[in-house]
Amino acid sequence: MYAIAIREPGSPDVLEWTEQTDPRPGPGEVLLDVAAAGVNRADLAQREGNYPPPKGASEVLGLECSGTIAELGEGVSGWQPGDRVCALLAGGGYAERVAVPAEQLLPIPDGVDLVDAAGLPEVCCTVWSNVVLEGGLSEGQLLLVHGGSGGIGTAAIQIGRALGARVAATAGAPESLRFCRSLGADPVISYREEDFVEVVKGLGGADVVLDNMGASYLDRNLAALATDGHLAVIGMQGGRKAEIDLGRMLVKRLRVSALGLRGRPIEGPNGKARIVSDVRERLWPLVSQGHVRPLVHERIPLPEASRAHATLEAGGVHGKILLTRP
């Protein structure tokens, strides 16, 4: 099969479409014929050599994909060859074929195009696990989403709104702010020109903050939280080390989590299987009803993955970039 290889750690042009060994489905896995793969910011870090795959995972980039089941590994039930699915991956999506544990498969939601579905698993599982399972967001609460126009951000705004929460979102460019507003975020806050803490405090404080920035926003995120609020850190675009004011946390009874999805085990209380099955049971109906839609910035053929990475790196992407099977 053909897949994207990283020639050496570096800039987007180190990505090459090369012939590689076909993956085989192990016990409990299925082999997928990939239709499309989602591009995630983590892929950029892996390409640069800063985010190695977890032990046992494919070296090929790609944390999510859609496609058709080609073969079942030993002991898999509930799925058939020919089923159209999308999948959460620990790696391997930038390829013609990928082997994936059956627990990480999701059906294509009603009304969603097979290619577009490639952009759903990673963002939906990340947002659902952080904002709902950990953060406990509920109807009438205020969710603050940083980076609201990106892949994660667009999913988070829609999910928050679909659950009946008010959603505030930050973004950079005016067109990105308008895009967040079109998804139901109100207010939208320019991270270049405005102080999100003042805006959010003016609304009584956020019950949940979904944060992609990490260190550079830690103190301000805690300041923006309401009493009993939850800060869910999922990214470190603004650095990994910062001081924390425990006094502020104690007085306001705040919780901070910093959770990665990729390295989780499949089974167990914090495993991927539980997240995927909760997403299927509770979020997939909202997707099928059109309340949460895959938002695609651009489809780019898989062999041109370097162009996809350069586009994401340049910023200003609205929703997801998808790599399609040539």
End-to-end alpha carbon distance in the chain: 12
Residues in the chain: 326
Per CB under 6 A, 141 contacts ligand NAP: no
Q: Is 58 in the site for ligand NAP (CB under 6 A)?
A: no
Query: Between residues 51 and 79, which has the closer beta carbon with respect to ligand NAP?
Result: 51
Written as six digits, the tokens of 33 are 């014929």
Span from 12-20, 110-118, 248-256, 259-267 in contact with ligand NAP (CB under 6 A): 259-267
In the list 46, 58, 104, 176, the residue contacting ligand NAP (rule: CB under 6 A) is 176
Cβ proximity to ligand NAP, 67 vs 148, nearer residue: 148
**Cα 255 to Cα 138, 147, 198, distances in angstroms:** 16, 21, 20
Residue 297 sits at φ, ψ, to 5 deg, of -75, -45
The reply to whether 119 sits near ligand NAP by the rule CB under 6 A is: no
Question: Which one of 104, 126, 158, 221 is in contact with ligand NAP (CB under 6 A)?
Answer: 126
Measured from the CB atom, is 25 or 101 closer to ligand NAP? Answer: 101
d(CA 268, CA 234): 21
The pair of structure tokens assigned to 161 is 């709104």
What SS3 string covers 26-85?
CCCEEEEEEEEEECCHHHHHHHCCCCCCCCCCCCCCCCEEEEEEEEECCCCCCCCCCCEE
Nearer to ligand NAP, 14 or 173 (CB): 173
Question: How far apart (Å, rounded) are the C-alpha atoms in residues 196 and 200?
Answer: 6
Binding test (CB under 6 A) with ligand NAP, winner from 131, 191, 283, 302: 191
Q: Which is nearer to ligand NAP, 40 or 72 (CB)?
A: 40
Total residues binding ligand NAP (CB under 6 A): 30
Query: Least distance from C-beta 144 to ligand NAP, angstroms?
Result: 10
Number of neighbouring beta carbons within 10 Å of residue 240: 9
Single out the residue of 47, 97, 146, 230 in contact with ligand NAP (rule: CB under 6 A): 146
Binding site for ligand NAP (CB under 6 A): 40-42, 122, 126, 146-147, 149-153, 170-173, 176, 191, 212-213, 234-235, 237, 259-261, 312, 315-317
